[in-house]
Amino acid sequence: MRALVLLLPLVLAACDAVAPKQPDTVKVPLGESSPAPVAAASGAANDYGATPMKDRVAVLGLLNKRNNVAEEIKLKPGEAREIGPVIIRVSACERTAPWEMPQQTGAFVQVDIRGRGQQSHARVFSGWMFLESPSLNVVEHPVYDVWVKDCVMRFPGEEGPASPKADPSAKPAASPSAPATPPATPAAAPAA
């Protein structure tokens, strides 16, 4: 039994000594000298006619829980804004195409906050935030809260505003079970 315990590390070490894995190869069709370039490798991503990333606008909310003041912040990907002790950076924003389900709106956000008496900011959040799932990734801070409100962009064939949520004049469709007009309420008698 003792010999088996002593041999086990030697066996495991021998497994690491197996020949190194050969790199993956790319087959090139006849008549071509190199494989076709990949869009991601060349730095130009295919956006399929949607608004390019640099022209999209992420709409975020910032809440100071201490004094109950909320702000709406609009940033393009690559931009950052400092609001008091909070720095918010947006790297990307994305919205699901209108013909795809489920509809999702998200942004890749980084939040840095400088505490009282501190000289530098500390990163409290870095990741994707989603409008439809606010509890999925949350900024865990006792004073500040940040959330995604919209990603303003347009897809081919879309008419009207760049985002359905960005049109303030758009009225939600009435549900079939709800009456078209609210029932009249009796007027209250003026207090004497």
Q: Are the C-beta atoms of 55 and 47 separated by less than 8 Å?
A: no
pLDDT band, very low/low/confident/very high, at 50 (cuts 50, 70, 90): confident
Q: Are the C-beta atoms of 102 and 131 separated by less than 8 Å?
A: no
Mean pLDDT of 28-36: 42
Residue 40: per-residue pLDDT: 38
Beta-strand relationship, 144-152 and 57-64 = antiparallel
What mean pLDDT value characterizes the chain? Answer: 72
C-alpha to C-alpha distance for 140 and 146, rounded to whole angstroms: 9
pLDDT band, very low/low/confident/very high, at 36 (cuts 50, 70, 90): very low
Residue 70: per-residue pLDDT: 94
Residue 165: per-residue pLDDT: 60
C-alpha to C-alpha distance for 148 and 150, rounded to whole angstroms: 6
Question: Vertex 128, ends 123 and 134: CA angle to 5°?
Answer: 100
pLDDT tens readout for residues 129-188: 999 988 887 888 889 999 999 999 988 877 665 665 654 444 433 333 333 444 444 444
Residue 90: per-residue pLDDT: 96
Residue 35: per-residue pLDDT: 40
DSSP structure string for 28-77: --TT-SSPPPPHHHHT----TTSPPGGG-EEEEEEEETTTTEEEEEEE-T
User: Would the pLDDT of 17 be above 70?
Assistant: no
Residue 149: per-residue pLDDT: 94
Nearest by Cα to 91 from 105, 104, 78: 78
- DSSP class of residue 84 equals T
* Between 174 and 15, residue with greater pLDDT: 15
Residue 22: per-residue pLDDT: 45
Mean pLDDT of 43-55: 70
Residue 9: per-residue pLDDT: 57
Burial 94-118 (b: 16+ CB within 10 A, else e): bbeeeeeeeeebbbbbbbbbeeeee
- DSSP class of residue 15 equals H
Residue 133: per-residue pLDDT: 87
User: Would the pLDDT of 25 be above 50?
Assistant: no
C-alpha to C-alpha distance for 98 and 161, rounded to whole angstroms: 13
